[in-house]
Structure 1
């Protein structure tokens, strides 16, 4: 009876949908037990706000189908005896593509007592049920909706509390004052290389993401105190999921924009079989124009990427998926004299590549136990050649040819004992191969030095165990341990973790979490070579241990109404075993590195501290309107071998974000046209940098920083406004969208850093990314 009353209340609150002269579409999917992933038979699904009510009941495989759903926004309400009710508001329904959903329900603990469950959509509730703190789910629609995100999940999450991007244009993600190299990328449950074009060694970001939003399903992002399954991560985790293709009909998406031309196809392999495929290919628009001879300027960025996901169910108990991601990128640039463009000061060519293919096999032993095994192959690398013009001709300054590959084998066992207890345990082995040759010019000795010259392999072994215990409807605990072994030098790390959540009532909850975490440095740091006076090569860092951090988090969540919530989190992170230069007077620490080659002699004797508080006020899309405001106040400190605690380069102190948007129905009802406007405004504390010693730089012929005053200069506060406006129109079998998305519409120019240019002997100031318009036309059919 109470579920019926709740359904009625939702019907009164939801926006009514008029059927007159409206196009319709099918909404279907599968409903599973969240822990056991077994199908729920007889669950009820209804479209809120329809008259007469549209709904369906799941079949023997947990599948449901609702036809004749009006295009626009639809809200689902799902109920099942013995399980908590679930609401899924404001799902976009268009005329071109069916809506196919995979929905998990949580089994109720107090089955014998009558429990009132308030259905709500809380994005602090992530797909990974083991995560209770510092976690957020995001949808593919959000990557396409947020102004300035450019359909990139890395740029989108920069609007979340505690997260900062790169003011100069890369999508590097700085979480809670940590270096962006502490980010772990996972795809379909498996660790992958940096999925960005033009990626530097050790970096986790880049100018353009190779992950296409048309391929993404709902995914998770974590900012601290990760659950036990996540290893080799220090600051944040992207847990990316590919969506499955439509297994009943063929559907296509094509788009043309400033950043690329791409095409996506999906569909069934054959009628009557539940298997499906989805594949995407993208080609750089600027490269296309350059290849056609229409565009010709210095430094055309050239890139292309592709991805696929193939789902192959085998009977009732087995499921196989095959997935892949690949990309190549290249840019060639020359620097000329400002007064005479015929004089070339320097020239360089940079290329990067990545590739991942994998197979996941899931076997359901019974309704409560399943095993997932996976095998993946991946590769990544970069080439770089840089020459500088001097009086005697061009000097060869940089020659890089770096190739890395990995084979990963993983197995995970999931066991749901009952509604209160779930266990998860797994093991991951990674064979890491490398073939690296790096030669860099030494301006002090006037010789070309070898920094890397190695070919071989090593490996890592990870194991974890997790236990989720729901004491009652109010108290939930996740606990476990992660083990990490680096075979190159037998470095080991045992990392206990625990998370708690207490639901004071249906609207208020307290959370707390603790975890030890570790992260490998880039393999190039371990293999780095130093040239000795006698010409021999020394590897000083082969025994370097992993950087470690202890994360402490407490939080409070307040549901203000059906679509609005408030979240407050405070955290403290103690970093230790940080690699620092083996010099008692040195202030160098890898804490301040975000990706580059190093050959300093390093020891694990550095420390660091990050602490802060974060506030999020958010209204999910409701009646065509949404907003989110986040405020982050924090400190980021480090201590190197000299024993002095200093602010790190990432100590910006504060981040304020305000985003929002509105959808308007325009024109006659039968035209099915929507106008949408999205905006983002941000104020970010300036990044710190070490000043340049100009005289020393001119004397050496290369940039020299004043290491006696590390990170003593704070760049300007960065302010920007992003604005996106567009229209979406549904026709009988197609949906088209036209969008203009402008980054930094006010063209604000905050000073971010300074660089020395050897060719001119002057300091050049570097500013935030200038105004950048992105025009995109998308057609779905």
Structure 2
């Protein structure tokens, strides 16, 4: 890529948009902070809660009204921290809210009822940023903010890339945003949106994968969300590795606001505001279009194939007086790319690959209060994905021929119903039912030898059902000790498979700033639907489907954790875990080493049986200084092992057994101008981790077959190079009256380190080539808030 052009263009844009008086501004700008306070368990409004801006001069505070709403007007722009207290509830601090001149700050704050009688009120503001939004979780959870998604270097406004900074989490070295948790396959990740499981929300996603090149979820629409790495509570099923529990924010219901953004990744528009005057409903909508083709044609970047994509998302909030609150949400994505493989002189096309994919998600949620202590939440959602892949190769007759044709269509109709009740301050109960109709139309065929006759790997269409239910009980024994128990049950109608999964978590706060926690859970996950319908021929050359009765893969999670809030800005966390994996799908061959979880993407064309086992174990450390006085850092490190055993009975390293990973995130922000109205800053992320394992290619057999053939008995026998990645980000934010400009330069792999991570066979050149980590990728951003 022509990175020097990117840097020059960024500097020209930045210099051309900074007004001459940017450093000598005498005007003070203000903004409004609005929001609503509710009980965490019942979702009821909290009346008379106090909301105070810490260290404000003069003092600024307010109280929530009869509907739980509050408003803080004429707040100086910059960063502020809120302290919220309410009689009978645990106090809460929301630290370092970035207040700009263009957009109001809209918050929805949940407080947890205190289990002890209040005799004397003492204010000790403590930041609990590390605590998850889901208070049922005891271990292995991390809340993240939208601001972190845009601030962390290398995240590219993508929550999937952002969480790779957390302890025990790593990503794919080739540049995909796949999430590897504690040595588990990315296949074990579950994505959720507004409380319902969704398909892989990434552009250019492969069959069976949970990652991709670009996330279709735009960070402009996200609100604070949770990410879990193990021992999930009972409400989460169909996952054994990690849970991405994403929430969309509500639009501003008092003022119309807009955001325009342009970057090397694309351009986007966001609109939000009230539906009508005097009504508390709101709308929020976003559309994004890829601009990579424009930049490639201009010579700024250079791709072998141009990724083209567009996506949109929305959220409508419609409160009613008697029927509760209705929320409509949606996410749409469309992407395609044509990739050409050419000879060294770029005069002859040796191969051509065409990729097309579509994503559609729409849903409606109703949140209905049932008295003062209970609520019922029902969600109906429909989602669909459609992926097509075509590969052409230059034949011996110098004519292109079709070598591979694949089509994967999936549609899901989901209904979720959850009932939550707070029996008293100590006891709460949550139960739920989840029904999913799974539709599919799958076809894959190949002719790598140019025989004129395609071999069919899978050709199935139809539907099935997946039913899940759960019960969660939280018992707050004392204000220091809490116990969460539950059970999750699931049933897959395709092959009558079922799973009963007990879960438990215990948290003990033995000092005011320190706690220990324990977690246990049994977890399971369905395989990709295409795996169940793989077609093979028996000894009589009659097609059959060997995997139709394949059962769910399972894992038992054991976790022990320690938390220490060293001071109100510094937090230390340590966890040790052991995961017992069983019922794993392995090839039905006593000599084989093939484990389904090691197959990263694409069609798993093997005869599998559920006789594999595995284990993951390790320790994780995190030290985080929350953003305070314009400075933050986060250090995470983990040591781990990830092993699998196939039918040959020999324990081996899994593909994802990197053994260790370490991250350092650090950043500093500076006030610019006489009154500090503008901001500039830098952020860095340094990553060093062990390489993943890969299988070497058998060149002779690959040439004979016309496709990649790996060396027999050598599955994942070689380890890739250790990876060093330095990501750097520089930004500048300019506040004007009702308008805000933001400029950002993000350098991913700034040192252009090129570690070898795998081998692949190039069908066009008929040679083995090394797969290397993603090279230097500069990304430019301009965002206008108005």
Is this a same-fold pair by TM over 0.5? yes
User: What is the Cα deviation at residue 618 of structure 1?
Assistant: 0.2
In structure 2, the CA distance between the partners of 1:650 and 1:117, relative to structure 1 (3 Å rule), is farther
Matched residue SS, 2:511: coil
Indicate yes or no: 2:169 matched with 1:167. no
Q: Given the alignment, which residue of 97, 100, 107 partners 1:94?
A: 100
What whole-Å deviation, never above 9, does each CA across 1:680-731 have from its counterpart, x for those lacking one? 0000101111122223323333322123122221111000110000111111
User: What is the Cα deviation at residue 336 of structure 1?
Assistant: 1.3
User: What is the Cα deviation at residue 759 of structure 1?
Assistant: 2.8
Map of 1:11 onto structure 2? none
Map of 1:760 onto structure 2? 765
User: What is the Cα deviation at residue 298 of structure 1?
Assistant: 3.9
What whole-Å deviation, never above 9, does each CA across 1:189-222 have from its counterpart, x for those lacking one? 0000100000000100000000000000000000
Map of 1:313 onto structure 2? 319
Structure 1, unaligned stretches of length 5 or more? 1-18
Indicate yes or no: 2:680 matched with 1:675. yes
Map of 1:218 onto structure 2? 224
Q: Given the alignment, which residue of 198, 203, 225 partners 2:209?
A: 203
> How far apart in 2 are the matches of 1:489 and 1:632?
39
User: What is the Cα deviation at residue 316 of structure 1?
Assistant: 6.0
Map of 1:584 onto structure 2? 590
User: What is the Cα deviation at residue 315 of structure 1?
Assistant: 1.1
> How far apart in 2 are the matches of 1:290 and 1:770?
16
Matched residue SS, 1:504: strand
> How far apart in 1 are the matches of 2:451 and 2:492?
35
Q: Given the alignment, which residue of 303, 328, 338 partners 2:334?
A: 328
User: What is the Cα deviation at residue 661 of structure 1?
Assistant: 0.7
What whole-Å deviation, never above 9, does each CA across 1:587-624 have from its counterpart, x for those lacking one? 00012122220221110000110000000000110011
> How far apart in 1 are the matches of 2:428 and 2:434?
20
User: What is the Cα deviation at residue 343 of structure 1?
Assistant: 2.2
Indicate yes or no: 2:690 matched with 1:685. yes
In structure 2, the CA distance between the partners of 1:443 and 1:119, relative to structure 1 (3 Å rule), is farther
> How far apart in 1 are the matches of 2:293 and 2:699?
38
Give 1:480-499 correspondences, 5 Å limit.
Answer: 480-499=486-505
CA contact (8 A) 1:587 1:707 kept: no
Map of 1:776 onto structure 2? 781
Indicate yes or no: 2:42 matched with 1:27. no
Indicate yes or no: 2:710 matched with 1:705. yes
Indicate yes or no: 2:48 matched with 1:42. yes
In structure 2, the CA distance between the partners of 1:115 and 1:67, relative to structure 1 (3 Å rule), is closer
> How far apart in 1 are the matches of 2:551 and 2:539?
27
> How far apart in 1 are the matches of 2:661 and 2:451?
44
In structure 2, the CA distance between the partners of 1:76 and 1:133, relative to structure 1 (3 Å rule), is same
Indicate yes or no: 2:512 matched with 1:506. yes
Indicate yes or no: 2:145 matched with 1:144. no
> How far apart in 2 are the matches of 1:288 and 1:698?
38
Map of 1:430 onto structure 2? 436
Matched residue SS, 1:169: coil
> How far apart in 1 are the matches of 2:449 and 2:525?
32
Give 1:288-687 correspondences, 5 Å limit.
Answer: 288=294, 298-315=304-321, 318-338=324-344, 340-392=345-397, 393-441=399-447, 447-532=453-538, 535-669=541-675, 672-687=677-692
User: What is the Cα deviation at residue 754 of structure 1?
Assistant: 1.0
What whole-Å deviation, never above 9, does each CA across 1:262-317 have from its counterpart, x for those lacking one? 00000001010000000000000123557999999641110000000000000166
In structure 2, the CA distance between the partners of 1:317 and 1:91, relative to structure 1 (3 Å rule), is farther
Indicate yes or no: 2:156 matched with 1:154. no
User: What is the Cα deviation at residue 633 of structure 1?
Assistant: 0.4
Map of 1:739 onto structure 2? 744
User: What is the Cα deviation at residue 111 of structure 1?
Assistant: 1.2
Structure 2, unaligned stretches of length 5 or more? 1-24
What whole-Å deviation, never above 9, does each CA across 1:316-374 have from its counterpart, x for those lacking one? 66000000000011000111122x43322111111111110000001101110100001
User: What is the Cα deviation at residue 557 of structure 1?
Assistant: 0.4
- Segment drifting more, 86-95 vs 285-294: 285-294
CA contact (8 A) 1:317 1:365 kept: no
Task: Compute the TM-score of the two structures, normalised by the length of structure 2.
Answer: 0.95
What whole-Å deviation, never above 9, does each CA across 1:75-103 have from its counterpart, x for those lacking one? 10111111111111110111101111101
> How far apart in 1 are the matches of 2:480 and 2:302?
63
> How far apart in 1 are the matches of 2:573 and 2:323?
40
Give 1:97-112 correspondences, 5 Å limit.
Answer: 97-111=103-117
What whole-Å deviation, never above 9, does each CA across 1:31-74 have from its counterpart, x for those lacking one? 11111111110000011111221111110001111101100001
Q: Given the alignment, which residue of 259, 263, 271 partners 2:265?
A: 259
> How far apart in 1 are the matches of 2:246 and 2:81?
24
CA contact (8 A) 1:444 1:700 kept: no
CA contact (8 A) 2:170 2:181 kept: yes
Map of 2:11 onto structure 1? none
User: What is the Cα deviation at residue 660 of structure 1?
Assistant: 1.0
CA contact (8 A) 1:263 1:281 kept: yes
User: What is the Cα deviation at residue 435 of structure 1?
Assistant: 1.1
- Segment drifting more, 316-325 vs 642-651: 316-325
What whole-Å deviation, never above 9, does each CA across 1:621-678 have from its counterpart, x for those lacking one? 0011110000110000000011110001100000000001111002221x61111111
Task: Compute the TM-score of the two structures, normalised by the length of structure 1.
Answer: 0.95
CA contact (8 A) 2:404 2:448 kept: no
> How far apart in 1 are the matches of 2:438 and 2:362?
15
In structure 2, the CA distance between the partners of 1:605 and 1:750, relative to structure 1 (3 Å rule), is same
CA contact (8 A) 2:448 2:706 kept: no
Matched residue SS, 2:714: coil
Matched residue SS, 2:652: strand
In structure 2, the CA distance between the partners of 1:442 and 1:564, relative to structure 1 (3 Å rule), is same
CA contact (8 A) 2:351 2:763 kept: no
CA contact (8 A) 2:520 2:557 kept: yes
> How far apart in 1 are the matches of 2:478 and 2:450?
67
What whole-Å deviation, never above 9, does each CA across 1:221-260 have from its counterpart, x for those lacking one? 0000001000101100000000000000100001000001
Map of 2:8 onto structure 1? none
> How far apart in 1 are the matches of 2:122 and 2:429?
27
- Segment drifting more, 397-406 vs 233-242: 397-406
- Segment drifting more, 704-713 vs 769-778: 704-713
Aligned length: 761
Matched residue SS, 1:598: coil
> How far apart in 1 are the matches of 2:716 and 2:541?
34
Map of 1:15 onto structure 2? none
> How far apart in 1 are the matches of 2:216 and 2:378?
25
> How far apart in 2 are the matches of 1:771 and 1:319?
47
Map of 1:273 onto structure 2? 279
| Alpha-carbon RMSD | 1.8
Matched residue SS, 2:447: strand
CA contact (8 A) 2:725 2:753 kept: yes
> How far apart in 2 are the matches of 1:613 and 1:693?
37
CA contact (8 A) 1:401 1:436 kept: yes
Map of 1:68 onto structure 2? 74
Map of 1:750 onto structure 2? 755
Matched residue SS, 1:727: strand
> How far apart in 2 are the matches of 1:297 and 1:773?
13
Q: Given the alignment, which residue of 217, 242, 247 partners 1:241?
A: 247
What whole-Å deviation, never above 9, does each CA across 1:752-781 have from its counterpart, x for those lacking one? 111112332321111111111001000000
